[in-house]
Structure 1
Amino acid sequence: MAEVLKAARDGWTGARTRSGRATSEGGDRANGASDPAVVATVAEIIGAVRERGDAAVRELSARFDRWEPESFRLTTEQIDACVAQVSEQALADLRWCQEQVRAFALAQRASLHDVEVETQPGVRLGHRHVPIARVGAYIPGGRYPMIASAAMSILTAKAAGVEHVIACTPPLDGAPPALTVAAMQLAGADEIHVLGGVQAVAAMAVGTETIERVDFLAGPGNAYVAEAKRQLFGEVGIDLFAGPTEILVVADETADPEIVAADLLGQAEHGLTSPAALIATDAGLARAALAEIERQLQTLPTADVAGPAWRDYGEVHLVGDREEAAALADAFAYEHVEILTAEPRWFLDTLRQYGALFLGEGTTVAYGDKAIGTNHVLPTAGAARYTGGLWVGKFLKTVTYQECDPAASARIGEICARQCRLEHFEGHARSCDVRVRKYAGALV
């Protein structure tokens, strides 16, 4: 059984077995069910936008963001003015980072091939990958303007072949956020709206007088935005149900405690409920990392967030070997998993449940979040058990088709009619019968 050196959250018993089953008392983890108050507020906002369109959007924006411009959609001139406010170095860095995302997304798209096969004489079956027509991308603002999210959602959709992308981001200090707008423009957004929160997500999903509804919503956001996507799912597609960001570091005696600590705190600073966990096969490394975390918190500018997150949602588990570490890591099924061990690729071959894997100390979650090219919209709250993160495939519909010549239709029709009657679908069976009668001569 794993030894728990630190599991500070109230109610956590600290028991994890090799099978990975965790026991806890006292309710959901950080990524648990939505707050009933959040659910109710979001439902009210979506209902208002659905019923009153632009008028409701304007009222909500004024109430929540103190932002009520003549038009929420930026003109070309306004976008150019925002870009002009950004330094050449920042623009160059944005272009470089976005090019990495674009290159990887295009490589992913190139790996997806249309299929057509003749499964038997005269029967042709196939599938095609068809881009979604209209996508809405939400780019968060607030304390952390998520400029990298523009590339992750807008640019990836464009790489998939999406024809029209609407992008929304909240205002900053009563004005369009110049850096975020520049990132959205460089990523290829067809429309940019300075509009935040649930009202933005609802407007894109249900449509208003000035915003044509989309078919799919992408992009991260706070608890209210996440709940809005949850409530709108089905009416539109969504990328993921996202909760607080998560990091798991798997480390052995070769790991650098300073790097372990920096990487855990780098994700803990996302929010007060962001889980950060360490699985260590070496007690000395685990205790050194704990001490290093406390040292780094003394000078970290975001310690007001990272400190409480680590205090309340930080965990350190000491295990006997890498096999036990791998079993426990798969049980966590965390969004980000860093492997800081002597043989990181052993975990690449072994692990099955994670959002994104970071192999060796040469890379870190921040690279994936901002610059290296993989997508940072990833599953949380255990969703890595059944899905991966955002990629070009999320913006494609894989649709099938079939075609039969007369002889094949007659052969299949006889069998299919019998199958239909076994299920008591006489109408189905007769749709087969008419083809058998029509094409019977083709069998000769």
Structure 2
Amino acid sequence: MKFLKSPVKKDYSTQYSLEEKVKNIIDDVKTNGDEALIKYNFQFDGNDRKLLSISKDEIDSAYEKVDKTLIEFIKAAASNIKKFAEKQKECIKPLDDFETSPGVFLGHRILPVSSCCCYVPGGGYPLYSTALMLAIPAKVAGVKRVVACSPASKETGSISPYTLVAMDIAGVDEIYCVGGAHAVAAFSYGTSQIKPVDMIVGPGNQYVAEAKRQCYGQVGIDFIAGPSEVLIISEEKGNPSYIAADLLAQCEHDRQSKGIFITTSNKLAQDVSVEIERQLNGLETRDIAEYAWENNGEIILVSSIEEACRISDEYAPEHLEIHVEDEDRTISMLNNYGSLFIGEYAAEVFGDYISGTNHTLPTIRASRYTGGLYVGNFLKVCSYQKINKKGVDSIGKAAEALALGEGLYAHAKAARIRLG
């Protein structure tokens, strides 16, 4: 393994300060409720609205501000996401009355969570596609109350019309104009205007991620999302234009985003470097993409695809693209990734928007232990047992003995009393 381009070393000295700032925001919201939300909305987003919920009139107005053709494309994306979520849900089945011992019947039920909040980022871009990715699987799962929130645009004092339209198409029940750590606190603990939820999903900036971490337990979460990342593996026949385009597409998210390229070909590595510089010229988001690539981008030269796969599994990337001849063999060597894009035509952008897989994916090596958001995140697999007298006779003495072995005498008695 040889690094042809390495990232700049990161400084994590400000992490403690971030934790303290977020803790103070959460405590303020818990104590002062809507007053704190309104204060932070104005402080961070210039949003001075007092009523946080979005009205139907605002949603209707948003449709008038969005190009009709784009609305149809949003609906097409929503349809694909829904179809895939429905197919995934079919794989999650209840289990009825499995008999482990005579008279002992076990099973599980599949139950949706009652409520969730879909956090849709604002920031530099109105990421309306995220509204689809979060709310549609929740709806397919059967969540009764699907809420969404997003920070206000500084220009309008309301949520971006693109985001409002996407939220409405996704079937969101309630929409609130609030973002940041204070929004996470509000939906975790509740305020006068905002009823708390059982689960919060969706990406956000470092304050949102830290707030989700601190509120976890009070509320369920999907995972802690960090800066977005893509890793591309390619042999010598890879297309440098495609690879460079996909790396820059990732880098333009924000200055912390990361693009990693692993290849068996020194020539392709050099060609991709040249192509990145060429494509940066004239790119509207060059200031962000170039900064992210220069500071976080990596190019790694390896001796084999096997080595590339081992390195990729160590990185455990959010998005993983493979541009190789023997796709099946390569896939068999890969275990850690949020979502896999197979072949040079399977660009990450298609998964981000329209193909139907979810783009809410684990970052910062979390794909070692979790996959991306899907309909199953909103479903609880809850076991049950049904035992008759025959069942008590078959397992009662064992239960009594096991309880006595642990010194739990009331447990033992609860078994013994049923044995008669």
The TM-score, its normalising length taken from structure 2, stands at 0.97
Which residues in structure 2 correspond to 1:16-415 (within 5 Å)? 35-116=15-96, 117-172=98-153, 173-176=155-158, 177-415=160-398
Q: Distance in 2 between matches of 1:286 and 1:251?
A: 9
Q: Distance in 2 between matches of 1:331 and 1:187?
A: 36
Q: What is the Cα deviation at residue 410 of structure 1?
A: 2.3
Query: Per the alignment, in what secondary structure is the counterpart of residue 394 of structure 1?
Result: helix
Q: Distance in 1 between matches of 2:243 and 2:164?
A: 34
* Preserved CA contact (<8 Å) 2:7 2:297: yes
C-alpha RMSD of matched pairs (Å): 1.3
Query: Per the alignment, in what secondary structure is the counterpart of residue 168 of structure 1?
Result: strand
Query: Per the alignment, in what secondary structure is the counterpart of residue 296 of structure 1?
Result: helix
Q: What is the Cα deviation at residue 75 of structure 1?
A: 1.6
Q: What is the Cα deviation at residue 149 of structure 1?
A: 0.6
* Preserved CA contact (<8 Å) 2:228 2:258: yes
* Preserved CA contact (<8 Å) 2:361 2:373: yes
* Preserved CA contact (<8 Å) 1:66 1:174: no
Q: Distance in 2 between matches of 1:228 and 1:111?
A: 33
Query: Per the alignment, in what secondary structure is the counterpart of residue 136 of structure 1?
Result: strand
Partner of 1:6: 5
Q: CA deviation digits over 1:154-178, x for unaligned, max 9?
A: 1111111100011101111133211
Q: Distance in 2 between matches of 1:84 and 1:209?
A: 31
* Preserved CA contact (<8 Å) 1:281 1:319: yes
Q: What is the Cα deviation at residue 273 of structure 1?
A: 1.6
* Preserved CA contact (<8 Å) 2:102 2:394: no
Q: Distance in 1 between matches of 2:43 and 2:127?
A: 23
Query: Per the alignment, in what secondary structure is the counterpart of residue 250 of structure 1?
Result: strand
Return the letter of the residue paired with 1:4: F
Q: Distance in 2 between matches of 1:427 and 1:230?
A: 38
Query: Per the alignment, in what secondary structure is the counterpart of residue 130 of structure 1?
Result: strand
Q: Distance in 1 between matches of 2:228 and 2:392?
A: 53
Q: Distance in 2 between matches of 1:384 and 1:39?
A: 24
Q: CA deviation digits over 1:289-344, x for unaligned, max 9?
A: 11111111122111111111111111111111111111111111111110011222
Q: What is the Cα deviation at residue 413 of structure 1?
A: 1.0
* Preserved CA contact (<8 Å) 1:345 1:359: no
Q: CA deviation digits over 1:343-400, x for unaligned, max 9?
A: 2232222200111110001111111111111111111111111111101111111110
Segments of 4+ in structure 1 off by > 3 A? none
Q: Distance in 1 between matches of 2:57 and 2:273?
A: 51
Q: Distance in 1 between matches of 2:107 and 2:332?
A: 32
Q: What is the Cα deviation at residue 34 of structure 1?
A: 7.2
Q: Distance in 2 between matches of 1:295 and 1:89?
A: 31
* Preserved CA contact (<8 Å) 1:276 1:310: yes
Q: Which ranges in structure 1 are unaligned for 5 or more consecutive residues? A: 11-25, 438-444
Q: Distance in 1 between matches of 2:192 and 2:149?
A: 16
* Preserved CA contact (<8 Å) 1:411 1:436: no
Q: Distance in 1 between matches of 2:365 and 2:44?
A: 32
Q: What is the Cα deviation at residue 411 of structure 1?
A: 2.1
Q: Distance in 2 between matches of 1:78 and 1:6?
A: 48
Mark the CA change 1:95 to 1:225 in structure 2 (over 3 Å): closer, same or farther. same
Return the letter of the residue paired with 2:86: L
2:411 matches 1:428: yes
Q: What is the Cα deviation at residue 142 of structure 1?
A: 2.0
Q: CA deviation digits over 1:214-260, x for unaligned, max 9?
A: 00000111111111111101110001111000110000011100111
- Give the number of aligned pairs: 417
Q: Which ranges in structure 2 are unaligned for 5 or more consecutive residues? A: none
Query: Per the alignment, in what secondary structure is the counterpart of residue 354 of structure 1?
Result: coil
Return the letter of the residue paired with 1:230: R
Mark the CA change 1:70 to 1:159 in structure 2 (over 3 Å): closer, same or farther. same
Query: Per the alignment, in what secondary structure is the counterpart of residue 420 of structure 1?
Result: helix
Query: Per the alignment, in what secondary structure is the counterpart of residue 33 of structure 2?
Result: helix
